[in-house]
Amino acid sequence: MVKLYNEIPGSCKWQIVEPINKGWSNDQKYYIRSTDGRELLLRISDISQYENKKKDFEAIKRLDNLDILISRPINFGICNNGRSIYSLLTWITGKDAEHILPELNSKEQYRLGVKAGEILRIIHQVPAAKNQISWSDRFNQKINRTIADYEACGIHLEGADKIIEYIEQHRCLLENRPQCFQHGDYHVGNMIVTKSGELGIIDFNRLDYGDPWEEFNRITWCADISASFASGRINGYFHHNVPILFFKLMALYIASNQLSSIPWAIKFGNKEISTMLRQAKNVLEWYDGFETCTPKWYISNPVK
């Protein structure tokens, strides 16, 4: 790491460098604290990822003018004698939302959920990159791959037939959907609560462009921890006036994501397979086997 430091501008002022051993990314991640007290996030990737990482870094810059608390890009370049790429970003100081939410009362959980929805709505103001293929074409192709991968993976999910049936019956809703910038992995695992109670968003490593409502496909991780937070996230996004079409599409995106998570988990071992099977069981329960499009945990009007 010493050689790597020497190649990154400003690294001579780095006083603390601590590895971050969490998340699903292949990047090496480090917490940095400089001699002047500045806190940073360093991500190191293989040089083979140069074009993709550069494009992502430039995409995150498009959020610079938004008045929200996010991990912002500082610098990007090549290091490690040409073998690696570095991305340097701002650090958000606080506690992981997934850990702090269970310690809060339902009113505070809901408040943070509303804030999460409002932040997401602001992020979605950034338009999609040019020359995107139609969303219906793109996501229908993804659905076809998802179903094929599940059927070939060899793991049986009880209720998968109901999930697939709902997907097939609601593909038509993908027609003429708008597209915008997407965080790509928007849930409590990528959110920070600061000491003052502000909500910050981190890890844009899976950013993409697509239907803004697809960003709710991983709200299952939020609902697992707090129904109040998950409900607030939906209500905050829509100014507390949620269209019925949203619930039908959210159910479609959750169904597709849940089905794809089964073959995805295989490469990570039995523990992750069990986690995804458990969550799929919960999802089927929330949606009454996809006989309904509004999940049981959703609270439209919480008690003030």
Same domain, 65 and 29: yes
Same domain, 111 and 241: yes
Q: Is residue 235 part of a domain?
A: yes
Tokens representing 265 are 């988990």
Q: Is residue 296 part of a domain?
A: no
Q: Give the pLDDT score at 25.
A: 73
Q: Give the pLDDT score at 6.
A: 66
Same domain, 107 and 168: yes
Q: What is the 3-state secondary structure (H, E, C) of the chain?
A: CHHHHHHCCCHHHEEEEEECCCCCCCCEEEEEEECCCCEEEEEEEEHHHHHHHHHHHHHHHCCCCCCCCECCEEEEEEECCCCEEEEEEECCCCEEHHHHHHHCCHHHHHHHHHHHHHHHHHHCCCECCCCCCCHHHHHHHHHHHHHHHHHHHCCCCCCHHHHHHHHHHHHHHHCCCCCEEECCCCCHHHEEECCCCCEEECCCCCCEEECHHHHHCCHHHHHHHCHHHHHHHHHHHCCCCCCHHHHHHHHHHHHHHHHHHHHHHHCCCHHHHHHHHHHHHHHHHHCCCCCCCCCCCCCCCCCC
Same domain, 181 and 269: yes
**Number of domains observed in the structure of the chain:** 2
Q: Is residue 304 part of a domain?
A: no
Q: Give the pLDDT score at 22.
A: 78
Q: Which domain holds residue 101?
A: 94-290
Q: Give the pLDDT score at 301.
A: 80
Written as tens digits, the pLDDT of the chain (304 aa) is 555 666 898 888 999 999 998 766 788 999 999 999 999 999 999 999 999 999 999 999 999 999 999 999 999 999 988 999 999 999 999 999 999 999 999 999 999 999 999 999 999 999 998 889 999 999 999 999 999 999 999 999 999 999 999 999 999 999 999 999 999 999 999 999 999 999 999 999 999 999 999 999 999 999 999 999 999 999 999 999 999 999 999 999 999 999 999 999 998 899 999 999 999 999 999 999 999 999 999 999 876 5
Q: Give the pLDDT score at 4.
A: 60
Residues in contact with 34: Cβ distance below 8 Å, sequence separation at least 6, in sequence order: 10, 13, 14, 15, 40
Same domain, 16 and 51: yes
Tokens representing 128 are 């999609």
Burial class (CB in 10 A: 0-12, 13-18, 19+), 213: buried
Q: Is residue 101 part of a domain?
A: yes
Same domain, 224 and 247: yes
Q: Give the pLDDT score at 129.
A: 83
Tokens representing 147 are 């179903």
Q: Give the pLDDT score at 218.
A: 96
Same domain, 102 and 86: no
